[in-house]
Structure 1
C-alpha cells in the first residue's frame, strides 16, 4: 500500500465498531480475508500493530487508539466536504445534527426549523434534547455540528467557538394545587422535594450551589434529563423545580404557579458552541444564524409583554 486511502480508514473503523473482523466483513459486504488484508496493509503502512486479534474479537493497541481518533476526524471532515460541495447544487441533500435544551424547544425551535427547511427542503436534520454538558464530547469530536446551552464561568471552552444568543431569567415553579403563601425564602423550602435537570456544569450547576448554600441538600433533589418527568413530578408528586420563565405554561397549561423567593436566582446565559477543530458546515452555520435571529425576536416579544403587563 503506497498510499493510505479513505476506504481503508472506513474498514478500520468498522472493525473496531463491530468488535471483530468477521462482523465487520459482514457489515461491509466484504469477505473476511479482504478485511484482514486491509487491516494488515494499514499496519504495514505505519509499521506498527494497531489491533490485537483474539478468538473473541479485536482490541485496540495504544497506536490503534491514536489511529482511530485521527481516522474518525479524517472521514468526518471528508463527509463534511462532500456535504458542502453537494449543497452547491439545487437538489442537494445535506445533513445537520445539533443538541439543545428544553427552553429552545419551547420557544424558538419551531421558527428556526421551519425557516431552515424552506432554505434546505431536502435536509436531513437530527436534533437531540439535553443539557449542554451531555453534548460537549460529541461537539468536540464532530459528531454534533453544534449545540446550544447555558454557560457558566467554570466551563473550559477554549477549544470551542462560542456564539452568545440570549439571557433568560428562571423562576421557582410548583403545582397550582399548592396554597400560595406570598414571598418565601429558599431556606424555608429545604425540606421540600426538588427535581432539576441532570448536569454538572452550566446554569443548573450554579443553581445547585445557590440551593445548597440555603440548606437544600442533594438528597432532596432528583435529577433527570426528561422535561416531561420534571413537569409530571411537579404536577402529580408536589415537587418543586426551577425553570425558565418561558416554560411555566407549557402548551398553554395553567397547572403550574410561580413562587417568588427573596433570594436572587442566577440568570442563565445561552450560547451556541461548536468545535474549532472542524470547519462548521454551511447548513449548520445557517441554523446558528437562525437561532440568533429568533432569539432576538423572542427577547423583544417578551419585553413587549412585560411592558403591557
Structure 2
C-alpha cells in the first residue's frame, strides 16, 4: 500500500491555495512559514510530484496540483462530514448541512421545512446557497454541498449523482402589478423590456434568451444576470424589470399582492425539479431528515395541484 498524505499535509495545501501564499497560509493556521514549507515538501515527497510553484502573482498550481486539489477537497469534506455524523449520533440535536436550491422554489417549501427541522434539531446549522445547478454543480461534486434541489436539464451530465424527481412547474413572464407592459400578449411586445435572468452556463435558463428574443433584442433591451432573489425583487418592484419564474410563486400570499403574470401567448418549457446528491455520498442523519421534509412539502404541493 502506498504512503498516504497526513491530514496536516492536506490542511496546509488547502490553506496555501485559499490564501495564495505560504506566508499567508502560515498566518491563517497559526504556524511558522518554515513549518508550512516543510509540510508542503513532505506532501510533495509523499506524492512524488511538484504540486505548486511560485509565480509573479503568488502560488500557481501545477497540473498534478490541480488534480490533487479536487481530490484533497473531497477527502477533507468527507472527513468533516464523518465527524459531524458521529457528533449527530452522540448529540441528536446538533449537526450541520449545506444544500443548494433554485432560489424561487425555496419560497414555498423552505419555511415549513425549517420549522420542523428547528424543532427536531434546535442546535443545527443549516446553510442554503441560491443558484442554478450549472453554477453549484462543482460544489456538489466535491462535497461542499450535501445536495441540490432545482431544475434538471438533460444537457448536464449527472452520471455520478442520484436524481430523484420532485415536481414539475409551469413558468411564465412575471412583472410587478401595474407594470406598463402588464397587458402584453406576445413576446414581440416585450422586445425592448428590461430582464433579470439567472446566471446559467447550461440547463433551463441558459436557453431563455433564444426564447425571449426570437427576432433578436430590441435597441432598448436590457438583460441583467444574477442569482439573488432580493436583488431581483427590488429590480422588478422599483425598476420595472421582468423575470421568468415558476408561476407557483404567485400562490404565495405576499407575492400575489405584488406581482402578476404577463399573458403572452408563447409558452415556456415546464421546469422539472429534482433532488440531486452524489451516489457515493454518506448523508448525515440531519441531511437525511432535511431531505425527507423537503420530499414531504413537495408531495403536498403536487397533491394540492391535483385537488
The answer to whether 1:173 aligns with 2:174 is yes
Please give the per-residue CA displacement for 1:23-59, whole angstroms capped at 9, x wherever unaligned: 2222212222322222222222233322325797533
Q: Distance in 2 between matches of 1:179 and 1:46?
A: 64
The aligned residue for residue 278 of structure 2 is 275
Deviation at 1:297, TM superposition (A): 0.9
The answer to whether 1:239 aligns with 2:241 is yes
User: Contact 1:172 / 1:241 at 8 angstroms: preserved in 2?
Assistant: yes
Deviation at 1:234, TM superposition (A): 3.0
Deviation at 1:107, TM superposition (A): 0.2
The aligned residue for residue 163 of structure 1 is 164
Q: Distance in 2 between matches of 1:30 and 1:178?
A: 59
* 1:55-134 pair list within 5 angstroms: 57-90=58-91, 93-134=94-135
What secondary structure does 1:107 align onto? helix
The aligned residue for residue 42 of structure 1 is 43
Q: Distance in 1 between matches of 2:216 and 2:73?
A: 47
Deviation at 1:269, TM superposition (A): 0.6
What secondary structure does 1:45 align onto? helix
The aligned residue for residue 221 of structure 1 is 223
* 1:126-205 pair list within 5 angstroms: 126-178=127-179, 184-205=185-206
Q: Which stretch shifts more, 293-302 or 180-189?
A: 180-189
Q: Distance in 2 between matches of 1:182 and 1:45?
A: 68
The aligned residue for residue 208 of structure 1 is 209
Deviation at 1:271, TM superposition (A): 1.0
The alignment's C-alpha RMSD in Å is: 2.8
Deviation at 1:303, TM superposition (A): 4.1
Please give the per-residue CA displacement for 1:168-190, whole angstroms capped at 9, x wherever unaligned: 11232233224788672223332
What secondary structure does 2:244 align onto? strand
User: Contact 1:170 / 1:244 at 8 angstroms: preserved in 2?
Assistant: yes
Q: Distance in 2 between matches of 1:143 and 1:179?
A: 43
Inter-CA distance 4–167: structure 2 relative to 1 (3 Å threshold) = same
What secondary structure does 1:109 align onto? helix
Q: Distance in 2 between matches of 1:119 and 1:89?
A: 15
Paired residues in the alignment total: 304
User: Contact 2:197 / 2:225 at 8 angstroms: preserved in 1?
Assistant: yes
The aligned residue for residue 30 of structure 2 is 29
Instruction: Select the structure of larger CA radius of gyration.
Output: 1
User: Contact 2:93 / 2:120 at 8 angstroms: preserved in 1?
Assistant: no
User: Contact 1:103 / 1:246 at 8 angstroms: preserved in 2?
Assistant: no
What secondary structure does 2:40 align onto? helix
User: Contact 1:107 / 1:298 at 8 angstroms: preserved in 2?
Assistant: no
Inter-CA distance 208–160: structure 2 relative to 1 (3 Å threshold) = farther
Q: Which stretch shifts more, 123-132 or 214-223?
A: 214-223
What secondary structure does 1:240 align onto? strand
Q: Distance in 2 between matches of 1:29 and 1:141?
A: 26
Q: Distance in 2 between matches of 1:55 and 1:258?
A: 53
TM-score using structure 1 length = 0.85
Inter-CA distance 209–121: structure 2 relative to 1 (3 Å threshold) = same
Q: Distance in 2 between matches of 1:257 and 1:117?
A: 33
User: Contact 2:104 / 2:229 at 8 angstroms: preserved in 1?
Assistant: no
Inter-CA distance 186–88: structure 2 relative to 1 (3 Å threshold) = same
